[in-house]
Structure 1
């Protein structure tokens, strides 16, 4: 016993620990865990290509075949997920890509592209009568249509869609209309008597698409579009509005037109933004004065079209843009027109009575 004990005491500490069943199993378990983690890390680096990135090339305006060849050389994949129609570009041209050019991605990443179709698809025009202007615009835009023009008629509710047309064809649930995507839709909207004027939104600095959306959302129409030299169907998406007429903050009648000027020149755009901000201050003063005049006339008993007429002419005279004589002439013309309309209505009523009697 003594000799055996002495031999065990003479053994190195690591051997005594290793001969211990519990210690040996713990060491083996930890070793296996470390080896397993190491192998997992190595395999993850191999299969996920850790720290290996590829810069996405610019595919826009390439043909689909050219884009595919370039993508293969970059060890990426390409997939067409949508198509649009741009008349100025060849069919099959890449219009947009996601992720954008310059983005760093892993090898094998799928790049989604939108290509130019041979022609616009013909689809049903959504029926949007009964919706608000904003809802109708969103529905039409989602379906691939745009607003051609907003028309306003007297109604109890403002910006409620009463009717819609594509060209000369009226869209109804009973008579659906098909048209090419990208076609314009005319919306006929209601206008309450107390909502004839709106504030012109700021669109300077925006792209044409963004500006159109903001103008339509305000109940206004897009007027003439002036383009700097060098802007065409290929570059118009990068162009920005540098001037708008009327200026932001001005008051305008529902359905009025806002004219735009587009540029690719950053210096001109910067000057346009500064000028627009200065003019907005003056427009805001005019808007405040218009509200004061309108409220004063409304308190005096004016309403509806008469309120609008008196407000516009009083402001014109205050600013020196018209004379009292011109206002009187305009009022006389308005009265004559009202009498003519009344006479036409009376004649029609008499003819109807004679027909039934």
Structure 2
């Protein structure tokens, strides 16, 4: 009996000792995590974020746009140009102001805004190039002093492949010469059959929208009257997807 009680006592002490070792281990781990967090926050993070690093903003006033951009980026700063209304009392096309000011101490990578006294640009009227072939459209835009910067594929079908279906900026818009233009080109006609909708009585804009939504093409640049008075082919005719419907209008005010 005494021997059995002694064994139970030893077992209890062993269990308590193991629990104590476990708790001491857990406490040690917790203390280690706290110490690591403190070291990371007060030693590693300042080095990582470079709290103490600073850069003096260079003076880019009276520089050209390109010179200012290069000087700021060489100093380890960001740069963003902003045009301001032309002031004839200042030199044209140079930096006349900057934010932050020169000699300001800032953190690396800080964005600096510089303002250019941009000289007035000659304006051009965007020509209408929708329904033209891509090459013809490019020539017409370049003759107007504009630049075709992007050409995108469109899902709108037309009788011929690479016909311009949309343009940005739109026709008739006054823009500075050198403005970049985006064109969308048609994949050409499809193979599906489409029934021609009725557009008589609609305005030309409404008629064109209805016809194009139906999967057909309409140009009719001379249809400038108030309402569509006739269409060809007529309502209910069957055309191949992308084929053209022509519309005629009544005279304006008629």
Normalising to structure 1: TM-score of the pair?
0.27
Q: Which has the higher relative contact order, 1 or 2, with Cα contacts under 8 A spaced 6 or more apart?
A: 2
Normalising to structure 2: TM-score of the pair?
0.37
